[in-house]
């Protein structure tokens, strides 16, 4: 029956280390046969606090997780600080705070959101009949929060192809170190601050002077990120509006989505990402995305609608690397002036490639 997997506890769970603790060890309540009395004071989500029951046995993990971006959702909080003003989410009467608390914060993940259940944003419920999984099932957890973009593309649910690493049976954790999930103890502000995996971690020899790939020898290592040649088309969203629902939740719905591939200029080269050309993804934020709740975003035009995208749909051969002129002279794969929509921010124009690489003879 539909829904049974959300609540059923497998009998063999009782023989596991967590099962032997008994329900009330984590959930509270009373160990008596009367249903109402047994559930009195019960905690539905015992892992909601990093100082709660998980910390009793896994304190070394919950301590670092307390500042991890998966737990704090700090990246989304920074969005409002940047687009509105610092501290806007501390203003109780702010409509932006209503949007954050009732929509963005749904991406906040507890220990149980990965190791026992599906994320709340994905509907919740147990993913393995209350079994505690050291390696969370990718399709039930990672996909639940990242399915519209990276995880969906990685698994081939979004776009035209699955990532070659997924085809080889690799899990997210096979590339991402555990610190990407559990944190390091440092306060994380954005995903770019953490120790992200890189293609050269496994394929470093491909960027040497002795590389067996001619294109790798011909192009400087800092000219473009690997995805410029090896990524497939990704999911792009447009024109999102947030609206308050009767139940108090806030729904953010993009009016359009397109799977496409765009290369743009890197607006902020760094030592970690020095590239001139990068792969892009369009985000759906508008100046009036939150107008029904709080008005326009005053700093909207300071940030591009096109963002650096570490696309997760890698292939050895792609439409843009089949030949030299699949890229050189192919204006359709580069971000052009006409790709900037009327309601995009002014900053988006800084990523436009105004002179594309010339065709080769």
The overall average pLDDT reported for the chain is 92
- Cα(147)–Cα(158) distance, rounded to whole angstroms? 8
Instruction: Indicate whether 2 pLDDT > 80.
Output: no
Instruction: Indicate whether 125 pLDDT > 60.
Output: yes
Measured between alpha carbons, how far is residue 135 from residues 2, 126, 151, 211 in Å?
Answer: 25, 15, 16, 35
Vertex 176: Cα angle to 171 and 178 (nearest 5): 100
302-322 pLDDT per residue, tens: 999 999 998 999 999 999 999
The confidence score (pLDDT) of residue 122 equals 83
**pTM value > 0.85:** yes
10-66 pLDDT per residue, tens: 888 889 999 999 889 999 999 888 888 889 989 989 999 999 999 999 999 999 999
256-307 pLDDT per residue, tens: 999 999 999 999 999 989 999 999 999 999 999 999 999 999 999 999 999 9
Instruction: Indicate whether 6 pLDDT > 70.
Output: no
Backbone angles phi, psi at 78, to 5 degrees: -65, -30
The answer to whether the CB of 38 falls within 8 A of the CB of 158 is no
The confidence score (pLDDT) of residue 4 equals 52
Order of all β-strands in the sheet with 263-265: 263-265, 277-282, 306-308
């Amino acid at each position: 029956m539909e829904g049974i997997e959300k609540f059923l506890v497998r009998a063999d769970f009782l023989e596991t280390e967590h099962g032997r603790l008994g329900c009330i060890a984590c959930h509270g309540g009373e160990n008596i046969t009367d249903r109402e009395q047994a559930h009195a004071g019960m905690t539905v989500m015992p892992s909601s606090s990093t100082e709660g029951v998980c910390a009793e046995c896994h304190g070394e993990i919950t301590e670092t997780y307390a500042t991890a971006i998966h737990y704090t959702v700090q990246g989304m909080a920074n969005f409002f600080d940047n687009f509105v003003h610092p501290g806007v989410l501390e203003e109780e009467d702010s409509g932006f705070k209503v949007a954050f608390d009732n929509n963005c914060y749904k991406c906040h993940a507890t220990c149980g959101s990965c190791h026992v259940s599906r994320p709340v944003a994905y509907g919740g419920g147990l993913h393995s009949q209350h079994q505690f999984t050291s390696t969370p099932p990718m399709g039930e957890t990672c996909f639940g929060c990242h399915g519209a973009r990276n995880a969906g593309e990685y698994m081939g649910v979004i776009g035209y192809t699955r990532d070659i690493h997924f085809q080889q049976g690799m899990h997210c954790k096979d590339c991402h170190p555990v610190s990407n999930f559990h944190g390091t103890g440092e306060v994380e502000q954005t995903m770019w601050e953490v120790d992200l995996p890189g293609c050269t971690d496994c394929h470093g020899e491909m960027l040497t002077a002795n590389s067996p790939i001619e294109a790798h020898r011909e192009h400087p290592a800092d000219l473009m990120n690997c995805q410029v040649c090896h990524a497939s088309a990704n999911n792009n969203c447009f024109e999102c509006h947030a609206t308050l629902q009767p139940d108090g939740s806030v729904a953010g719905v993009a009016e359009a989505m397109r799977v496409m591939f765009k290369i743009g200029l890197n607006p902020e080269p760094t030592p970690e990402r020095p590239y001139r050309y990068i792969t892009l993804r369009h985000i759906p934020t508008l100046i009036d995305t939150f107008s029904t709740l709080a008005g326009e975003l005053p700093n909207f035009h300071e940030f591009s609608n096109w963002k650096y995208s570490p696309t997760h749909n890698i292939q050895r051969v792609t439409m843009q690397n089949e030949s030299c002129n699949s890229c050189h002279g192919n204006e359709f794969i580069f971000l052009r002036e006409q790709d900037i929509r009327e309601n995009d921010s002014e900053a988006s124009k800084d990523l436009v490639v105004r002179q594309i690489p010339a065709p080769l003879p």
